[in-house]
Structure 1
Amino acid sequence: MPSAPTPSWTVGGSTVHRIDETPLPPGTGPWLLPDATPDVVHRHGWLRPHFADGAGTLRLHSHSFAFEAGGLRVLVDTGIGNGKTRANPAWHDLRTGYPDHLAAAGFPPDTVDLVILTHLHTDHVGWNTREADGVWVPTFPNARYVTARTERAFWAGWAMDEPRRQMFDDSVVPVEEAGLLDLVDVAPEGTELTPGVRLLPTPGHTPGHIAVELSGGAGGNALITGDCIHHPVQFAHPGIGSCVDIDPEQSERTRRALLGRLAGTDTLVLGTHFPPPTAGRVVADQDSYRLLP
């Protein structure tokens, strides 16, 4: 039986592919965004049926995005990973077809040139590495892995609990030890990483969090959110934050500024945790915003 085609979008001359890892369980929404109660969700009919179910429970996914730009084959974020010891039961010892999904989209791991990490949280760095003979080794051996210098510096000074230390040991440190991790100074106005790809500072969820902007010229632009926006309910209520935001007030300021800048433009917003249809444009909706798929 043939596999389903990889979901994709055209931005200028580039095709952006969604590389699926796994849907997240229904309990993720109430834990991650506790203020997005069913009562709040039910106020916004546009969230159903794609982004929430009839009971007002949020739908969330884990996936990456892959595309070609500036002569490079690029992957943004690497999900949760397989076979890893995690405190969150939904992330523990996964066995997904993520590498096969990469290959089906035309991005086998050894062909990836650049891995952009929006931030260093567990569900964004997991496929940085894979297990080989009992050792965690880089999944993308020919790639440069990139994150903001501010992000790595923050975690280097953070008193990590054991689960986070475990994550760094199996998913970040092996990449550093292989000499593949590049730290980038991201300017307030953004920093071009390669032609057509710009890193935008979007702090709050973590201090060095970045979003990724793709410029397609006359063909339009796209923005990959990472976790500065977890779910479309935050378009309607930018004040709803994540329980794991390092700086909730900064996270809200970042979200409001970003949505205000994107509203009414042709920029395609690609949510790193948005369930299908995953992408859309920001439009004004009374005194706030909504996502138009």
Structure 2
Amino acid sequence: MELERITLGNVEVFKVVELQGRFGAPGAMIPDLPPEVWRENREWLVPDFWDPDSDSVVAAVQTWVLRSEGRTVLVDTGVGNGRERPGAPHFAGWDTDFLDRLARAGVRPEDVDVVVNTHLHGDHVGWNTVERDGAWVPTFPNATYLIPAADHAFYGPGGAARTAGDNHRFVFADSVEPVVRSGRAVLWDGTHRVDGNLVLESAPGHTPGSSVLRLASGGDRAVFVGDLVHSPVQLLEPSCSSGLCQDPRRSAASRRRILERAADERELVIPAHFAGSGAAEVRREGDRFGLGLWAARDTSPRPPVTPAGS
């Protein structure tokens, strides 16, 4: 996969992709989004965000790597290898060379100082741990793992999510609890300053503890929004949440708040799952948002986007 790098102020940012491809039907991914939105915006959605032949959303599972104030920070850690996922078979039994890709990018596990889990879904915490001698242990032995306290309570033993089936139990057991047990986790709530350039902020709805990571360095601004936005079509219809959101209305409210601020403060929006360019500049267009894709990947002009019914 292409390795993209950009410098924002004094922070170097790049991504390492675990897997990229088709991730299901648009109606399943974003159920309230009118189907015509995809068709009317085909020109710029294909091929990075939609495969019209199979009518599938194109997305990536990836980790954003930040070098800030002399430290290496990972934002989300993907699916991981060898996971048992009875409730999400598409994430079960993966065997990728993700750690080798990190190494080729100059990041060894022992070099990582901070791991940010924007939330505790299985495709954001998997490489928190690796299996050694039949036990799950932290992959990044010197890192502090920043975990939203609300998600830890919701998905942990006795949490409300346990009534939804076994998948959350497996994710917590192999990718979260070993880190907490090791003493390397910090559970935070509200806001949490990572360093002089980076601040975590709650943005609940997708999960109770969903969060964004804001970057401000020099004159540059960015916000890593996790699963607040799964596809750029949600910029056109920001009220439409994904089918995986625990609280779709609250997710939509968080999405609008974060996107409005990003447009007003010229923050680069960097979602967890955008394939292709991986990030977007947003601007207000009435009650929706327009976008321009990250120029580091593609500097060609983009046609205007067309929301359904406009």
Question: Scaled by the length of structure 1, what TM-score is found?
Answer: 0.91
Larger CA deviation: 149-158 vs 61-70:
149-158
C-alpha contact 2:22 2:56 (8 A) present in aligned 1: no
Q: In the TM superposition, what is the alpha-carbon distance from 1:287 to its structure 2 partner?
A: 4.1
C-alpha contact 2:8 2:221 (8 A) present in aligned 1: yes
Counterparts of 2:2 and 2:108 in 1: how far apart (Å)? 16
Local SS of the residue matching 2:51: coil
Determine the structure 2 residue equivalent to 1:65.
64
Determine the structure 1 residue equivalent to 2:303.
none
Query: In angstroms, what is the RMSD of aligned CA positions?
Result: 1.8
C-alpha contact 2:230 2:271 (8 A) present in aligned 1: yes
Local SS of the residue matching 1:95: coil
Local SS of the residue matching 1:145: strand
Q: Aligned partner of 2:66: which letter?
A: F
Counterparts of 2:244 and 2:176 in 1: how far apart (Å)? 19
Q: Aligned partner of 1:70: which letter?
A: E
Q: Aligned partner of 1:182: which letter?
A: V
Equivalent positions of 1:135-174 (< 5 A) are: 135-156=135-156, 157-160=159-162, 161-174=165-178
Larger CA deviation: 138-147 vs 254-263:
254-263
Determine the structure 2 residue equivalent to 1:52.
50
Determine the structure 2 residue equivalent to 1:279.
279
Q: In the TM superposition, what is the alpha-carbon distance from 1:38 to its structure 2 partner?
A: 3.8
Determine the structure 2 residue equivalent to 1:114.
114
Q: In the TM superposition, what is the alpha-carbon distance from 1:9 to its structure 2 partner?
A: 1.8
Counterparts of 2:150 and 2:269 in 1: how far apart (Å)? 24
Larger CA deviation: 173-182 vs 50-59:
50-59
Equivalent positions of 1:246-257 (< 5 A) are: 246-257=246-257
Larger CA deviation: 115-124 vs 262-271:
262-271
Q: In the TM superposition, what is the alpha-carbon distance from 1:27 to its structure 2 partner?
A: 1.6
Larger CA deviation: 39-48 vs 167-176:
39-48
C-alpha contact 1:232 1:290 (8 A) present in aligned 2: no
Q: Aligned partner of 1:216: which letter?
A: S
Residue correspondences, number = 286
For each residue in 1:162-182, what CA deviation from the matched residue of structure 2 results, as whole angstroms up to 9, or x when unmatched?
A: 121111111111111111111
C-alpha contact 2:263 2:284 (8 A) present in aligned 1: yes
Q: In the TM superposition, what is the alpha-carbon distance from 1:150 to its structure 2 partner?
A: 2.2
C-alpha contact 2:62 2:273 (8 A) present in aligned 1: yes
Local SS of the residue matching 1:263: helix
Any gaps of 5 or more consecutive residues in structure 2? Answer: 294-310
Counterparts of 1:50 and 1:225 in 2: how far apart (Å)? 19
C-alpha contact 1:23 1:61 (8 A) present in aligned 2: yes
Equivalent positions of 1:118-267 (< 5 A) are: 118-156=118-156, 157-160=159-162, 161-187=165-191, 191-218=192-219, 220-263=220-263, 265-267=265-267
For each residue in 1:230-282, what CA deviation from the matched residue of structure 2 results, as whole angstroms up to 9, or x when unmatched?
A: 11111001111111211111111111111111125432111110111111200
- CA distance change for structure 1 residues 83 and 202 in 2, over 3 Å: closer, same or farther? same
Counterparts of 2:25 and 2:94 in 1: how far apart (Å)? 16
**2:33 matched to 1:31?**
no
Q: Aligned partner of 1:209: which letter?
A: S
Local SS of the residue matching 1:6: coil
For each residue in 1:6-40, what CA deviation from the matched residue of structure 2 results, as whole angstroms up to 9, or x when unmatched?
A: 22221112211101000143426442222345422
Q: Aligned partner of 1:69: which letter?
A: S
Local SS of the residue matching 2:50: coil
Larger CA deviation: 130-139 vs 155-164:
155-164
Counterparts of 2:155 and 2:170 in 1: how far apart (Å)? 13
Counterparts of 1:149 and 1:159 in 2: how far apart (Å)? 14
Local SS of the residue matching 1:74: strand
Larger CA deviation: 28-37 vs 235-244:
28-37
Counterparts of 1:35 and 1:170 in 2: how far apart (Å)? 33
Between the two proteins, what is the percent identity of the paired residues?
Answer: 37
Counterparts of 2:32 and 2:189 in 1: how far apart (Å)? 34
